[in-house]
Structure 1
Amino acid sequence: MRHVAVIGSGPAGYYTAEALQKLFADDVRVDIVDRLPVPYGLIRSGVAPDHQSIKAVSRRYEATALSDNVRFVGNVAVGRDVSIGELLSLYDAVVLATGAPADRPLGVPGDDLPGVVGSAAFVGWYNGHPDHAALRPPLDGPAVVVGAGNVALDVARILAKTAEEFGGSDIVGHALDHLGTGTHDRITLLARRGPHQIAMTPKELGELAHLSRARAMVDAADLPAPAADAALDPGQRKSVAHLRAFAEAGEEKPVTIAFDFFAQPVAIEGDGRVEQVIVERTRLDADGRASGTGETYAIPATLVVSCIGYQTPRIEGVPYDAKLGRFANSEGRIAPGLYAVGWARRGPTGTIGTNRPDGFLIADHIAADVADGSGKPGRAGLDALLAERGVDVVTFRDWQAIEKAEVANARDGAPREKFTAIEAMLDARR
């Protein structure tokens, strides 16, 4: 019997467990360990609350979690309750599927002013993540969103929506109430490069055209000649088609979502809080890299949300690549018996589905490296260690009780009302 510990219960963790099941059938036992009492990682706390169809993939993970040889071990933090060294002594393989939940710093003067928020924190706030539930972003003036990917679009869309447009979503109540107090009338999206270089996908861009109180706007001067679109792949062409539509005259609405291309923040200024963002114009070289032109201007703002990428938090005893913001690894191998998968392996790139082949890659590595079970105690050893330390472990059945309570607490039309405090989660299972 092979015993495997997977650290992290998001898509990468569950796809790895699924791959191990398919590879070893009944000859493997997988423990999925998470520091939170609730599973699913970014499916629960990262996917936009108004994208419920994407969240439905959690039902696939649930089927894996309820199988006989996989179990969820929640409310157990590596580094606090158990060390990597201890896990390696208990399991034949330890797989780090911790994702990349920390924001990359914006890295400009003033980025520590009140009102500057990373996207992990902002998205975690409206999704009810316990680490960010207390955030109260200032909504009493214009907002600037830095980034050219789907996360930036999510942030802008959430800021622009009316309460009625959140019907059917699982945005948490405290965020919905606070968004309703907002007086912002302009949301500026800053992109260092141009329309042909965005990472925004057509579906997410298209959603901006259907907002009831907000209109997306693009300066036609930022768009390349239409003939240049022929060199793009089909998805990119669709995205740029949306941007071209946004550049045309349209219905005036109370809120403007303005795309500001060829623009990078170089400083954030304000007296005790954000008041404006100093932006420098950029130009692209022959290789598509952006560089500053020296021309600057100011954009008023009381909120700045940085959506420039994420990094994996360090774990004591695990080699780390500070430049790439992830664990140091070679195709997922970190050290004998220790592996990384998903964003913890490759950095924050790809979609939810990208983690599935990643999980099979790591399962193949384990099959090659662990020919037979070593006789290590696996889950029995972990249970004994955690019991000795008085750790309050949450099982998948406990999670189902928590989920049932969240569904029961939902406001009209919403699928659930998430608990945003760990103690409330632990109380709900009882």
Structure 2
Amino acid sequence: MRRIRVAVFGAGPAGIYAADTLVNDYPGAQVDVFDRLPAPYGLVRYGVAPDHPRIKEIVKALRRVLSRDGIRFLGNVHYGTDVKLSDLRHFYDAVIFSTGARADRWLDIPGVDLPGSYGAADFVSWYDGHPDVPRDWPLTAKNVAVLGAGNVALDIARVLAKPADEQLATEIPGNVYRGLALNQATDVHVFARRGPAQIKFTPMEFRELSHSPSIDVIVHPEGFEIDEASQAAIGKSKSTKLVVDTLMRYLEKEPTGAPHRIHIHLCQAPVAILGTDRVEGLRTERTELVGDGTVRGTGEFVDTPVEAVYRAVGYRSSHLADLPFDHAAGVVPHDKGRVLDMDGVMMDGAYVTGWIKRGPIGLIGHTKSDAAETVTSLLTDLPGIAPAEITDPDAILAHLAGRGVDYTTWAEWERLDAHEIALGAEQGRERIKVVPRDDMLRAGRSA
């Protein structure tokens, strides 16, 4: 069996599942998993709300993969700056890109650039302690709008509505706790374009909104429309039925007088963010279902006074150096994971998996089948792939060092991990996340 070396760029679930599948299916494979951050786990560490420790349990499985023989983690390496595709092809038979989707999808409405209008990705990165975003976040708005009907919108609403002390039990860094302690929000309005059977909340997370004694969840009856197509969707999907049942319970429940409120508005599409020098309100158009799960505008507009707007309308992947990119779809063109150039011809030894491949859809578990398809393509193509010019596993390390790249290793991550857990233990918490990149590097290299 030909021994092969494969680089995976992106150490989130998609990349880690690809590495795991590769070493399982091809015992002669050695895989280096790179990431631009000093720490692994991608979306699980920097995209999942800190008060969802159950979801973060997936880290245990990801850790087992990265600890395997034949797999090596190399962090703090920026693709396109520290290494190029041509560099990687010197050292590896193939490269799998799993860089995900880090940017916010654009919302083309008037006022979107006003101060007080924020992309979800930036706010999530802040409260998850991402090292590359500012340490402070303005939280002076008392009335806030969140645009979107998915779990990210739900996470943002919950983080904004829940008092800081209730979130202190999580792994939030000190700067995030201090910022949330100054949060002025009392009313968070979540706007969904479609009806009850079309929103994309997962049932458990939606039910958990009411678990805080400080929050009343208020579902507004306007737009609570269930047509025949909605009834069919409820009948086909247990998840949809559970979400609609939860909406009904919230709709029927009397407010308790809690100091914070999350308002759910259905069938309202954002058309403009209002204000002159900063956000002063949100204008929405009432919509109605048309029988196939989509909606149309009714021409009736509603203005809601708010001082901040968070746009959680989806993520978008970014163009990677030396690779083609479909700017309309926000993905790398591919055939079952094989990267295709502008003429539709397969690029030698270049593959994609995860959101950079299929777009930012699906839950974390969906990346397994996606990774399996890409790895199958790679192994099928293997006889025709030009082999790496340099086969010494340490050659890439010398190359990075020669370019002054301060890369991190799995051993350094384990020390950083232990350091964060020790910081949390001092305060009776599971972990306290280290935020500044230099501090992460220093903790990983301390004896």
TM-score (normalizing by structure 2): 0.92
Cα distance between partner residues in 1 of 2:65 and 2:408: 17
On the 8 A contact 1:223/1:244 being kept in 2, the answer is no
C-alpha displacement of 1:85: 2.0
Aligned pairs for 1:96-115 within 5 A: 96-115=97-116
Match of 1:207 in 2: 208
Aligned-partner residue type, residue 64 of structure 1: V
Match of 1:237 in 2: 241
Q: Label 1:223 to 1:268 Cα distance change in 2 as closer, same or farther (>3 A).
A: closer
Cα distance between partner residues in 2 of 1:375 and 1:306: 44
Match of 1:260 in 2: 265
Q: Does 1:85 align with 2:90?
A: no
C-alpha displacement of 1:154: 0.8
Cα distance between partner residues in 1 of 2:435 and 2:267: 38
Cα distance between partner residues in 2 of 1:375 and 1:258: 56
Aligned pairs for 1:133-152 within 5 A: 133-152=134-153
Match of 1:9 in 2: 11
- SS at 1:114 equivalent: coil
Q: Label 1:135 to 1:313 Cα distance change in 2 as closer, same or farther (>3 A).
A: farther
Q: Which of 362, 366, 390 is residue 374 of structure 2 equivalent to?
A: 362
Aligned-partner residue type, residue 201 of structure 2: M
Cα distance between partner residues in 2 of 1:175 and 1:133: 11
- Count of aligned pairs: 429
Match of 2:306 in 1: 301
Q: Does 1:292 align with 2:297?
A: yes
Match of 2:403 in 1: 389
Match of 2:434 in 1: 419
Aligned-partner residue type, residue 159 of structure 1: L
Which runs of 5 or more structure 2 residues have no equivalent in the other structure?
340-346
Cα distance between partner residues in 2 of 1:196 and 1:117: 27
Match of 1:338 in 2: 350
Match of 2:342 in 1: none
Aligned pairs for 1:128-207 within 5 A: 128-207=129-208
Higher relative contact order (CA 8 A, sep 6+): 1
1:182-230 superposed Cα distances (whole Å, 9 cap, x missing partner): 2222110011111111111110110112221111111234323599646
1:284-329 superposed Cα distances (whole Å, 9 cap, x missing partner): 3233322322222211112211111111111121111111111111
Cα distance between partner residues in 2 of 1:142 and 1:37: 37
On the 8 A contact 2:196/2:226 being kept in 1, the answer is no
Cα distance between partner residues in 1 of 2:386 and 2:335: 23
The CA RMSD measured in Å over matched residues stands at 1.8
On the 8 A contact 1:270/1:276 being kept in 2, the answer is yes
Q: Label 1:226 to 1:370 Cα distance change in 2 as closer, same or farther (>3 A).
A: closer
TM-score (normalizing by structure 1): 0.95
Q: Does 1:407 align with 2:409?
A: no
On the 8 A contact 2:224/2:266 being kept in 1, the answer is no
Cα distance between partner residues in 1 of 2:226 and 2:99: 43
On the 8 A contact 1:161/1:212 being kept in 2, the answer is no
Q: Label 1:389 to 1:300 Cα distance change in 2 as closer, same or farther (>3 A).
A: same
- SS at 2:394 equivalent: helix
Match of 1:377 in 2: 390
Match of 1:39 in 2: 40
Cα distance between partner residues in 1 of 2:411 and 2:5: 21
Q: Does 1:348 align with 2:363?
A: no
C-alpha displacement of 1:164: 3.5
C-alpha displacement of 1:92: 0.9
Cα distance between partner residues in 2 of 1:148 and 1:364: 35
On the 8 A contact 2:101/2:318 being kept in 1, the answer is yes
Cα distance between partner residues in 2 of 1:231 and 1:356: 26
Which runs of 5 or more structure 1 residues have no equivalent in the other structure?
none
Between the two proteins, what is the percent identity of the paired residues?
Answer: 38
Cα distance between partner residues in 1 of 2:300 and 2:187: 23
Q: Label 1:375 to 1:289 Cα distance change in 2 as closer, same or farther (>3 A).
A: closer
- SS at 1:52 equivalent: coil
Cα distance between partner residues in 2 of 1:230 and 1:319: 40
- SS at 2:137 equivalent: coil
Aligned pairs for 1:295-334 within 5 A: 295-334=300-339
Q: Label 1:332 to 1:225 Cα distance change in 2 as closer, same or farther (>3 A).
A: closer
